[in-house]
Amino acid sequence: MAKPVSGFAKFLRKMRQGYRNDDGAVAVEFAIIALPFFALLFAIIELAIIFFLNSSLESATFETARKVRTGTFCGDEDTFKLAVCQGMNPGVPASDLNACQARTDIRIRQMGSGFNSMVDLNWNPPPVPNPPPAGYTPPPPNYASTNGGETVLVAVRYRHPLTIPGTLTRLANANDGSNSREIFAVSAFRNEPFGAASCGP
């Protein structure tokens, strides 16, 4: 006559069966590695985008700075900014480049004593009061037309908003703590001996 199986024995039997049963193990393992896997995947994609933007920014800065070097650039830093954004986004109309222009800062400085002189780029100037008080005079533009033979420094900063939190990828480097990557392009040169700057192709 078989003895009745106690409740504890039934529990042990189910535990042994569950230990040998591996149904759903793959799903559990994937759930464990899915988050770091996709975080690494998107971080690689974001790093590739940053490299592409860096190359595009350097090329657009060099091409636009060449117009300053040859005396054919006319305008201020906002005009230079638009030209850089158009170089980074060829074929896109100027009306669709507002986001690029909002993320871009331009500094064009004359280096009076040549390449050995110190230049203050002042990336974070004090904000213009809004509304401006009575008698407020806005600061003069940072760039004026340069002459032939003059030494010039052009610096461009582009702020790229990141998708993945910078605490995971270590790609964020903005000083204001935002989740963005600051990309820089710099060109220092001596103007060609063209005399006074002239506008033209």
Query: What is the predicted pLDDT for the residue at 38?
Result: 85
Instruction: Tell me, yes or no, whether 84 lies in a domain.
Output: yes
- The residue segments making up the domain with residue 79 are 26-125+139-190
Instruction: Tell me, yes or no, whether 155 lies in a domain.
Output: yes
Instruction: Tell me, yes or no, whether 148 lies in a domain.
Output: yes
- Beta strand 151-161 with 104-110 is antiparallel
Instruction: Decide: 86 and 104 in contact? Cβ < 8 Å.
Output: no
Instruction: Tell me, yes or no, whether 147 lies in a domain.
Output: yes
pTM for the complete prediction?
Answer: 0.74
Instruction: Tell me, yes or no, whether 83 lies in a domain.
Output: yes
**Tokens for 2?**
């078989």
Query: What is the predicted pLDDT for the residue at 201?
Result: 46
CB 116: neighbour CB atoms within 10 A? Answer: 7
The sign of the CA dihedral 70, 74, 77, 82 is negative
Residue ranges, the chain, pLDDT below 70: 1-25, 113, 125-127, 138-144, 195-201
How many domains are contained in the chain? 1
Instruction: Tell me, yes or no, whether 130 lies in a domain.
Output: no
Instruction: Tell me, yes or no, whether 11 lies in a domain.
Output: no
**Tokens for 150?**
């003059």
Query: What is the predicted pLDDT for the residue at 55?
Result: 96
Instruction: Tell me, yes or no, whether 197 lies in a domain.
Output: no
